[in-house]
Chains A and B, each alone.
Chain A
Amino acid sequence: MVPPTYYLVLSAAVFCIGLFGILTRRNALYFLMSAELMLNAAVINLVAFSFQWGNLTGQTFALFVIALAAAEVAVGIGIVLVLYRNFGEIDVLSADSMRW
């Protein structure tokens, strides 16, 4: 059996890739994908611990998170569309009018 530490390392790696994407990318679609990666990192954690303790709650929760991610994509795509409509591009740095 694969020890849970491996799963946790995998999860942390995926999460950091997502975080890196959010901090460095300017394209809104990359943003969306990076957020998706971070969510999935969390799902891996849930499933890993559920497997570890033999408790199904974690896996149930993982299903919920996947459904949530689908909803999030729907909203995210909507935001990207609005961004394009208002600024003519999907660079997140262009939308900086709400500031001091």
Chain B
Amino acid sequence: MVSASAYVPAIVLLPFVSFIVALFGREYLPKRGAFGGIAATAGSLGLSLWVLLSVRNGAAFQETYYTWTTGAGAQDWTLTFGALIDPLSALMLVIVSVVATLVHIFSLGYMNDEDERDLPRYYAGLGLFTASMLGFVIADNLLMAFMFFELVGLCSYLLIGFHFREPGPPSAAKKAFLVTRFGDYFFLVGVVAVFTTFGTAAFAGAESFPALAEAALNGEATVWTPGGLAESTWFTIVGLLVLGGVIGKSAQFPLHTWLPDAMEGPTPVSALIHAATMVAAGVYLVARMYGFYVLSPTTMAIIAFVGGFTALFAATMGVVKRELKQVLAYSTISQYGYMMLALGSGGYVAAVFHLTTHAFFKALLFLGAGSVIIAMHHNEDMWEMGGLKDKLPVTYWTFLAGSLALAGIFPFAGFWSKDEILYEALIHGLDEPLILAAYVMGLLAVPVTAFYTFRMVFLTFHGEPRSSLARDPHPVRWNIKGPLSVLGVLAVVTGGINLVPVKKVLGIKGIDYLHLWLDNHWGGIEGLSSHHYAELNPYSSQYLFGGEVPTVLAGAAVSLGLALGGLALAWALYNVADPDEHTDKLGGIKELLYNNYYQDEFQVWVADNTRAVAGSADIFDQGVIDGVVNGVSSVSLLSSERIRRIQSGVVSNYALLLTLGLTTLLVVFGLLGGWF
């Protein structure tokens, strides 16, 4: 039988081929590139599912495809491209390809039916975006992951700035590019640090850097550290450097400012960025090298605290926004904060679980928002909407499912994953004040999330239509309803893959599939199991009320109660025929929230005040780097200017030169050969 492992490169190459085809096929393609993209991503999806099944049957593997540099001497590093297929990456491959396929289909309705210009460029971007993310997911070493990480960033730049003729998108694209690049700068330094410290950047195996780091901390191996720094300190620094890239890509505080602006891109692109590709890349990277992070309690605590803070911080801003996609943007930042909180507090499985459920319900919400935006003729202001419930039933019901999942209402997918994150943070946080603080912030974000989510739902779909557009919305077709329905079902049922609280309370064994899956229950790669990570976990577990079951129940009850409270508040304030803007009563606070805590202004201020540094870097770049390059070229230019004058066009001169040359040669040979 042909093994699925042979087809892993094809998962990445198929969308890449669709990128090439769309790039060169231009306007001659059927549906201007959409069919190629759908076929390619559907092919990737099929292969990913096959890979998932084969991993289920114990066929996890790591393989090197191409070695592009082999070092020499003391620096005997090899730089390679390879695939690491274990339960985590197989799951992520499926998530990315499901969302990418549905986004491609949705684009038929959102882009083609709306007669957008220049669509092959759009589909080329989507293809490359999907290919880079899939390449990032299968990466088996940090350097390859970094390369695809950068490609993902480039594609987001291209797609956010798709409508480059308008003023907003190009500047939003530039901002996304620069802010994430600021984080990636630290990531790059981190990659170099990993190479110099361990001599390898592989994720898996006995010679991988997490394994070497573990051995070094146990005193079984020695690694290089700068200036004789203690190994644990140095690992913390390296971990934080790599974390810089994660914070930029996953839009964590303080590098989250690019994400709300990225809403300038076409809505399907926002769905792809937020659910499965760009933003997910950061969290996935931490999960991928979790064996390294878990060794450093300081880094873990920082991850947890940043995550918890971002979850609350972003949620508060979502409360006052007027535009549908803005609310969703802040909810994305907030939800990725939860994932970071889970990772930092030792809840590896919980983070992957939330990554999975969030991918589905956030893709659903964005595509639903896209459907509303089409219906509203590209007006995104929620105060112009209202009453769309009866006009767009499919969109309404699927959007509602996604919103319930986002708000964490039982039994939708988001409830299970968010509950597990908060549970992990709680049991590990009772001894650790920093984790506990992060937990409290995460808990406070729950009612806020439920509130802004349902404020959005009620304003958009309930009440009386508040504008002529909302009274007579544009109808949407199957290519919008289809993806929405698929994701709607997924948003309801995905929680079923990991019913840990049910298992713990009722004692039913074997229904925590994701736990078993990530614990290499069905086979995986040695050292990359959640079991192994739990052993390395620096935290001890504490329980409230004297046991695990009461803690589970109490945690779930508190988070569900808070979520319902937020929902009820939104219901009371906004589920009326003609709602008022109640957040106006917040006065100055609303002003602060509406302006995103003046974070953008702060960053501009920082940029202005560090102009001297940038200026000196510019002088160095223009003077020294460009000076060397320009110097070389001007030397050749100048000398060729002189030398070309021997081409006089006069035959006699050529004959003379020939003769002189021959004579010189004869003399030189004579002298060297000793003829005289």
Q: Which residues of A contact B (CB under 8 A)?
A: 19, 22-23, 26, 31, 92-93, 95-100
Counting CB contacts under 8 A, is B651 at the interface?
Answer: yes
Contact residues in A for B651 (Cβ distance below 8 Å): 31, 92-93, 95
B648 with A23: CB separation less than 8 A: no
Q: Which of B644, B649, B659 contacts A96 (CB 8 A)?
A: B649
Q: Which of B647, B652, B656 contacts A100 (CB 8 A)?
A: B647
B655 with A100: CB separation less than 8 A: no
Contact residues in B for A22 (Cβ distance below 8 Å): 652, 655
A94 to chain B, nearest CB (A): 10
Looking at chain B's contact residues, the main secondary structure is helix
Q: Which of B645, B648, B652 contacts A92 (CB 8 A)?
A: B652
Given the contacts A23-B652, A92-B652, A100 and B659 also touching, CB distance less than 8 Å: no
How far does the alpha carbon of A92 sit from the alpha carbon of B655 in the complex, in Å?
12
Contact residues in B for A19 (Cβ distance below 8 Å): 659
Given contacts A22-B652, A26-B652, A99-B648, 9 further A-B contacts (CB under 8 A): A19-B659, A92-B650, A93-B650, A93-B651, A93-B652, A96-B650, A99-B647, A99-B649, A99-B650
Contact residues in A for B655 (Cβ distance below 8 Å): 22-23
20 CB contacts below 8 A, A to B, read: A19-B659, A22-B652, A23-B655, A23-B656, A26-B652, A31-B651, A92-B651, A92-B652, A93-B650, A93-B651, A95-B649, A96-B648, A96-B650, A97-B649, A98-B649, A99-B647, A99-B648, A99-B650, A100-B645, A100-B647
Contact residues in A for B649 (Cβ distance below 8 Å): 95-99
Contact residues in B for A23 (Cβ distance below 8 Å): 652, 655-656, 659
Q: Which of A95, A97, A98, A100 contacts B644 (CB 8 A)?
A: A100
B640 to chain A, nearest CB (A): 10
B643 to chain A, nearest CB (A): 10
Q: Which of A19, A23, A98, A100 has the most CB of B within 10 A?
A: A100
Which of chain B's residues 601-656 have a Cβ closer than 8 Å to chain A? Answer: 644-645, 647-652, 655-656
How far does the alpha carbon of A99 sit from the alpha carbon of B647 in the complex, in Å?
5
How far does the alpha carbon of A22 sit from the alpha carbon of B644 in the complex, in Å?
23
Task: Return the 7 tightest CB-CB contacts between A and B, nearest first.
Answer: A99-B649, A96-B649, A100-B644, A100-B647, A92-B651, A96-B650, A98-B649
Nearest CB in chain B to that of A22: its residue: B655
Nearest CB in chain B to that of A34: its residue: B655
Contact residues in A for B659 (Cβ distance below 8 Å): 19, 23
Binary A-proximity of B647-671 (CB < 8 A = 1, otherwise 0) = 1111110011001000000000000
Contact residues in B for A93 (Cβ distance below 8 Å): 650-652
B670 to chain A, nearest CB (A): 15
How far does the alpha carbon of A22 sit from the alpha carbon of B650 in the complex, in Å?
12
A75 to chain B, nearest CB (A): 15
Nearest CB in chain A to that of B651: its residue: A92
A26 to chain B, nearest CB (A): 8
Binary A-proximity of B123-150 (CB < 8 A = 1, otherwise 0) = 0000000000000000000000000000
How far does the alpha carbon of A98 sit from the alpha carbon of B653 in the complex, in Å?
13
